[in-house]
């Protein structure tokens, strides 16, 4: 069914739980549709990136999402707020990201008969955190995703999980090659730092489940062995998240001379270029960890957990090393292996990583998938 906006303009809506992720992960996608003359409506919780979205030409509606809590009253209000915006803007298609937009946005779009796509960027906290939260979330997903035309996943395991749980029929699922990586923007740079010390870098949201504690324990093991290495951390604080690592804890690690805390940056390329190896010992329910894509695209070998999402990007001994989940001893061993590796071998791992990004995860592939479905819902 062709759905065209009553305003006479072509409108696409993108709904996520914060502006930061819309801008940082999907800016090239938003620009792609803006350049084609679409009205691009973005709906998310307001943060410092709201002005960035409007500055590139998007229309922005602030809506509060609290992704890690369930409150029937607040969630019902969220449904009505979204329905009101959808009714006003009448988009030709809506893309929903992460749990609450996918659930309440899909309900609202379904009632108004507006085509929508749900993008499951990872199972995240609601499927790996407190057990009591899982059942109601599955029930809500099952009901809500009836309204979605397609449900997109970043890895096969998550798609299989949703089908196995009876949340969606198999015909609705589609696997995206991650969120796509701009391999031109994330391109190799010559390293400017001297050969010693060896620099490990962890880039992630500051959550325990991203493996930050495991990284610190592994760093302590390497220190105990007298190995000359620096352990850097670049991370986005997650105030209010149930698994947030406090700033006090990070300062304590800094004071112990275990970590070098780089804070948070809008452009990770300089810090990535200085690193010899990226480390992500995550046990979070990942979709595709973006930081692995960025590092590989810049020819930096990685060490990450042998788990869903991560092993879609890193092949053991090819473009990095895989470690066991929640095992600081094993991570430390992999870090020692990486440090002791012949430089030629490490550089080869880096080149393999970039080749994989270009052939499998390049942004153009992802944009093409979005373009294909958008074209179905807009005539001409």
Any domain includes 231: yes
CA separation, residue 171 to residues 41, 88, 89, 168 (Å): 28, 31, 29, 8
Q: Clarify whether residues 367 and 352 are in a common domain.
A: no
Question: Which DSSP category does 133 fall into?
Answer: G
Q: What is the pLDDT along the chain (380 residues), one digit of tens a residue?
A: 334 444 446 999 999 999 999 998 899 999 999 999 999 999 999 999 999 999 999 999 999 886 555 667 778 899 999 999 999 999 999 999 988 999 999 999 999 999 999 999 877 655 655 565 677 888 899 999 999 999 999 988 889 989 998 999 988 999 998 889 999 999 999 876 667 899 999 999 999 999 999 999 999 999 999 999 999 999 988 877 888 999 999 999 999 999 999 999 989 999 999 999 999 999 987 789 999 999 999 999 999 999 988 999 999 999 999 999 999 999 999 999 999 999 999 999 999 999 999 999 999 999 999 999 999 998 64
- CB-CB contact of 202 with 234 (8 Å): yes
Contact (CB, 8 A) for 137 and 161:
no
Residue 322 shares a structural domain with residue 371: no
Q: For residues 252 and 246, what is the distance between their CA atoms, to the nearest angstrom?
A: 10
What is the largest distance, in Å, between two alpha-carbon atoms of the chain? 68
CA dihedral for 204, 282, 295, 331, sign (positive or negative)? positive
Q: Would you state the pLDDT for residue 239?
A: 79
Instruction: Give the position of tokens 């942004």.
Output: 363
CB atoms within 10 A of CB 271: 16
CA–CA dist 190, 192 (Å, integer): 6
Owner of token pair 């589609």: 174
Q: Does residue 118 sit in the same domain as residue 242?
A: no
**Is the same domain home to 208 and 329?**
yes
Which residue is it, tokens 């620009």?
A: 31
349 & 203 share domain: yes
Question: Do both 113 and 227 map to the same domain?
Answer: no
Query: b/e per residue, 75-103, with b = 16+ CB within 10 A?
Result: beebbebbbebbeebbbbbbbbbbbbbbb
Tell me the C-alpha distance between 374 and 130, whole Å: 37
The helix-helix angle for 19-35 and 363-377 (nearest 10°) equals 70
Determine which helix (DSSP H) or strand (DSSP E) holds 43, and give its type and residue range: strand 39-44
Q: Which two tokens stand for residue 100?
A: 């609450």
Give the pair of three-digit tokens for residue 141.
Answer: 């997903």
Residue 62: both structure tokens together = 């602030």
Query: How many domains does one find in the chain?
Result: 2
Predicted local distance difference test score (pLDDT) of residue 236: 82
Q: How far is CA 318 from CA 176, 200, 358, in A?
A: 22, 18, 15
Pinpoint the alpha helices (H) of the chain: 19-35, 50-55, 72-89, 99-100, 106-111, 124-128, 134-144, 156-164, 212-224, 247-255, 269-274, 290-297, 310-313, 328-340, 343-356, 363-377
- Same structural domain for residues 132 and 115? yes
Does residue 272 share a domain with residue 312?
yes
Give the integer Cα–Cα distance in Å for 69 and 350.
40
Beta bridge partners of residue 198, listed in sequence order: 229
Instruction: Identify whether residues 368 and 339 lie together within a single domain.
Output: no
Sign of dihedral through CA atoms 98, 374, 139, 143?
positive
Q: Is the dihedral of CA 340, 341, 347, 350 positive or negative?
A: negative
Q: Which CATH number does the domain housing residue 240 bear?
A: 3.40.50.2000
Within a domain: 188: no
Tell me if 185 is assigned to some domain: no
Q: 102 and 20: one domain?
A: yes
**CA–CA dist 270, 282 (Å, integer):** 23
Structure tokens given for 147: 């309204």
Domain of 251 in residue numbering reads as 198-361
């Amino acid at each position: 069914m062709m759905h065209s906006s009553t305003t006479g303009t072509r409108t696409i809506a993108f709904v996520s739980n914060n502006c930061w992720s819309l801008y940082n992960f999907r800016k090239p996608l938003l620009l792609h549709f803006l350049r084609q003359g679409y009205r691009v409506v973005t709906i998310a919780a307001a943060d410092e990136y709201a002005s960035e979205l409007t500055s590139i030409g998007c229309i922005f509606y602030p809506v509060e999402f609290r992704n890690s809590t369930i409150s029937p009253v607040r969630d019902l209000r969220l449904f009505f707020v979204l329905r009101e915006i959808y009714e006003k803007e009448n988009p030709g298609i809506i893309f929903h990201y992460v749990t609450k937009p996918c659930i309440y946005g899909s309900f609202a779009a379904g009632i108004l008969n507006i085509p929508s796509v749900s993008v499951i960027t990872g199972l995240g906290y609601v499927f790996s955190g407190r057990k009591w939260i899982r059942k109601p979330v599955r029930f809500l997903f099952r009901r809500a995703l009836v309204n979605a035309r397609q449900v997109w996943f970043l890895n096969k395991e998550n798609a299989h999980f949703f089908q196995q749980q009876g949340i969606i029929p198999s015909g609705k699922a589609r696997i995206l090659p991650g969120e796509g990586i701009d391999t031109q923007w994330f391109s190799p740079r010559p390293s400017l730092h001297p050969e010693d010390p060896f620099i490990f870098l962890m880039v992630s949201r500051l959550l325990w489940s991203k493996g930050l504690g495991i990284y610190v324990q592994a760093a302590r093991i390497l220190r105990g062995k007298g190995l000359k290495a620096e352990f850097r951390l670049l991370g986005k604080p997650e105030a209010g998240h149930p698994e947030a690592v406090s700033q006090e804890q990070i300062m304590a690690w800094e004071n112990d001379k275990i970590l070098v805390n780089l804070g948070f940056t809008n452009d990770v390329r300089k810090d990535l270029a200085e690193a010899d190896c990226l480390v992500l010992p995550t046990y979070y329910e990942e979709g595709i960890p973006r930081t692995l894509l960025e590092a590989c695209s810049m020819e930096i070998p990685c060490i990450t957990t042998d788990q869903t999402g991560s092993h879609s990007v890193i092949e053991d001994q090819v473009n990095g090393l895989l470690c066991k989940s929640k095992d600081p001893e094993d991570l430390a061993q992999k870090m020692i292996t990486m440090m002791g590796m012949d430089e030629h071998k490490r550089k080869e791992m880096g080149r393999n990583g970039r080749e994989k990004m270009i052939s499998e995860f390049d942004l153009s592939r992802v944009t093409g998938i979005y373009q294909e479905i958008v074209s179905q819902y807009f005539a001409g």
